[in-house]
């Protein structure tokens, strides 16, 4: 067929001949010079040249097979307002998830939620939270370029394979707990510093080794509430690492006592105070959802089941559920400590971390920080600084190989998610962190006695009761 395909073949033949003639003889021709100049182009220059001049690439951009620097493939998920497709970065070749939103279908409230989602995701850099790389805008659509978690979600895994083993439940739940604890209480990431800057080193607590400490600044609380924690939003990366996803309903509160009044999330995971249609505190709502999630992991069923919303509401308000007797005792106590109808009686996140059931779980990073002024903290800060320098050097080298110059970096301070330079930088940075164990899984050892974590076991010795509900 004449056209783009045939033209591409002819061009390729000319290129081969030009290479051959340049090798065998000193005589050149215009085609030889053109081919030689093309070979001297960097990957970035070749890509931008194709996006401006190559008919096939331009057509792919027009029909949606390309979005910015990303080659779009098949659909891998969908939501109320969005679709998610697999994509590849044309320069780095990394897989990403492309969340596509139709701007025409978004009302004012949806726009506010989306803006909040982007802001919250930009501030989160944790191994167990899905990362935002870039935002691409067109007149009709908005694209969120996200970290790709290629091994599905927890809901489909349990529905197809059954409940998780006790060990797998520990490892999975501990990572979800790590993510939520980070969102609620870790030092807040500040504005991203300029490339290569070293003045934004974090001294806040619980910074996992390999996480993006460049983005952390002054020590204060994030206070980000997820509000839609459920098995469908717990994803698995190719290495099996848990990734908490979909922050579409997330919100940042000014303090722990700040009340919210918007009903969010999935009803089977909703806390009793949400069904009462009254204001509520954010952290206990996420804690309740984690209790439902834990029950689902260890039993393969939901704690609150009903055939109508009214019956479900009644069971949740009464705290009516039954833990099967074969669930290990420490796990039963944790579930009952979480699923308390009264928010103030529920286990806090730190209490969950210190429970008997999770004590054997050993993370590749420390969940409990050293004292800020201790020699250990000074040593950790020193080691972290050395790691940052190594990572920065590696990312700098990768950017240069792709064709990004110092001028590119000066013009793009890597703070704007809507810049393709920021997208490449964040992908390369995450890749460097993963090579250093960022996505390493926790392991279950023997009963490890960590004095700091033992000190968090505040729920031990409390009585936990629940009513039973049988639905016909």
Among 271, 305, 310, which residue's Cα sits nearest to residue 291? Answer: 271
| Dist CA 459 CA 346 (whole Å) | 9
Q: Is 36 helix (H, G, I), strand (E, B) or coil?
A: helix
What class is the 65-147+384-436 domain?
A: alpha beta
In whole angstroms, how far apart are CA 163 and each of 160, 245, 300, 327, 468?
9, 21, 4, 11, 22
Contact in structure between 201 and 260 (CB atoms under 8 Å): no
What are the two backbone dihedrals, phi and then psi, of residue 395, each rounded to the nearest 5 degrees? -65, -40
Q: What is the pLDDT of residue 129?
A: 95
Contact in structure between 22 and 36 (CB atoms under 8 Å): yes
102-143 pLDDT per residue, tens: 988 888 888 888 999 999 999 898 999 999 999 999 988 999
Q: What is the pLDDT of residue 78?
A: 84
CB atoms within 10 A of CB 177: 24
Q: What is the pLDDT of residue 67?
A: 95
Six token digits for residue 108: 């004012």
Place of tokens 């920065």: 392
DSSP letter string over 158-218? HHHH-SPPHHHHHHHHHHHHHHHHHHHHSEEE-PPPPTT--S----SS---TTS-GGGEEE
Reported as type and span, the H/E element at residue 98 is strand 95-102
**C-alpha count within 13 angstroms, C-beta hemisphere, residue 68:** 24
Domain limits of the chain?
65-147+384-436, 154-186+222-364
Beta bridge partners of 252: 224
> Which candidate in 228, 246, 286, 350 is catalytic?
228
Contact in structure between 166 and 328 (CB atoms under 8 Å): yes
Q: What's the distance, CA 64 to chain centroid? A: 25
Q: What is the pLDDT of residue 125?
A: 87
| Dist CA 454 CA 337 (whole Å) | 16
Question: For domain 154-186+222-364, which architecture applies?
Answer: Orthogonal Bundle (1.10)
133-174 pLDDT per residue, tens: 999 999 889 999 999 999 999 999 999 999 999 999 999 999
Q: Can you give the pTM of this predicted structure?
A: 0.77
Q: What is the pLDDT of residue 279?
A: 87
| Dist CA 149 CA 130 (whole Å) | 8
In whole angstroms, how far apart are CA 240 and each of 115, 176, 406?
30, 13, 37
With a cut of 50, which residues of the chain have pLDDT below it? 1-26, 186-220, 368-371, 377, 448-472
What are the two backbone dihedrals, phi and then psi, of residue 322, each rounded to the nearest 5 degrees? -130, 125
Q: Rg for the chain (alpha carbons), in Å?
A: 26
Six token digits for residue 373: 């002024």
Q: Whats the size of the chain, residue-wise?
A: 472
Q: Is 170 annotated as a binding residue?
A: no
Contact in structure between 128 and 241 (CB atoms under 8 Å): yes
Active site residue 153: no
Six token digits for residue 398: 């990768």
Contact in structure between 221 and 197 (CB atoms under 8 Å): no
What are the two backbone dihedrals, phi and then psi, of residue 32, each rounded to the nearest 5 degrees? -60, -45
450: left (phi over 0), alpha (psi -120 to 50) or beta: beta
């Amino acid at each position: 067929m004449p056209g783009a395909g045939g033209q591409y073949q002819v061009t390729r033949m000319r290129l081969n001949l030009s290479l051959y003639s340049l090798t065998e003889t000193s005589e050149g021709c215009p085609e030889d010079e053109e081919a030689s100049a093309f070979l001297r182009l960097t990957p970035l220059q070749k890509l931008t040249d194709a996006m401006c001049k190559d008919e096939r690439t331009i057509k792919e951009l027009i029909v949606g097979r390309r979005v910015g620097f990303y080659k779009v493939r098949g659909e891998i998920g969908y939501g109320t307002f969005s679709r998610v497709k697999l994509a590849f970065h044309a320069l780095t070749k990394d897989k990403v998830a492309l969340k596509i939103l139709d701007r025409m279908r978004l009302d004012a409230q949806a726009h506010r939620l989306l803006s909040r989602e982007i802001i919250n995701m930009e501030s989160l850099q944790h191994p167990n939270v899905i990362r935002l790389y870039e935002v691409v805008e067109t007149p009709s659509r908005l694209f969120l370029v996200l970290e790709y978690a290629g091994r599905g979600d927890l809901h489909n895994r349990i529905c197809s394979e059954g409940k998780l083993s006790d060990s797998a439940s520990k490892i999975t739940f501990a990572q979800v707990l790590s993510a939520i604890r980070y969102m609620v209480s870790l030092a807040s990431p500040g504005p991203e510093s300029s490339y290569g800057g070293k003045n934004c080193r974090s001294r806040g607590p619980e910074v996992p080794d390999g996480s993006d400490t460049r983005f952390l600044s002054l020590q204060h609380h994030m206070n980000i509430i997820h509000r839609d924690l459920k098995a469908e939003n717990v994803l698995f990366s190719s290495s099996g690492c848990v990734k908490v996803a979909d922050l579409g309903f997330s919100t940042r509160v000014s303090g722990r006592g700040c009340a919210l009044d918007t009903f969010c999330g999935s009803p089977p995971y909703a806390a009793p105070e949400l069904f009462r249609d009254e204001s509520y505190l954010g952290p206990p709502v996420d804690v309740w959802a984690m209790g439902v999630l834990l029950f689902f992991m260890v039993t393969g069923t939901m704690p609150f089941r009903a055939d109508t919303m009214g019956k479900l509401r009644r069971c949740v308000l009464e705290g009516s559920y039954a833990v099967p007797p074969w669930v290990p005792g420490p796990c039963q106590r944790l579930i009952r400590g979480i699923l308390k109808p009264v928010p103030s009686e529920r286990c806090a996140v730190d209490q969950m971390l210190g429970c008997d059931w999770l004590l054997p779980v050993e993370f590749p990073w420390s969940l409990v920080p050293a004292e800020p002024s201790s020699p250990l903290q000074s040593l950790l800060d020193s080691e972290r600084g050395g790691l940052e320098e190594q990572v920065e050097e590696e990312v700098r080298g990768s950017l240069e190989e792709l064709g990004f110059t110092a001028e590119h970096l000066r013009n793009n301070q890597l703070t704007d998610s809507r810049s393709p330079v920021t997208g490449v930088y964040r992908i390369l940075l995450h890749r460097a962190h993963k090579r250093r164990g960022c996505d390493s899984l926790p392991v279950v050892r023997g009963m490890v006695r960590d004095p700091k974590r033992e000190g968090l076991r505040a729920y031990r010795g409390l009585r936990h009761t629940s009513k039973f509900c049988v639905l016909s």
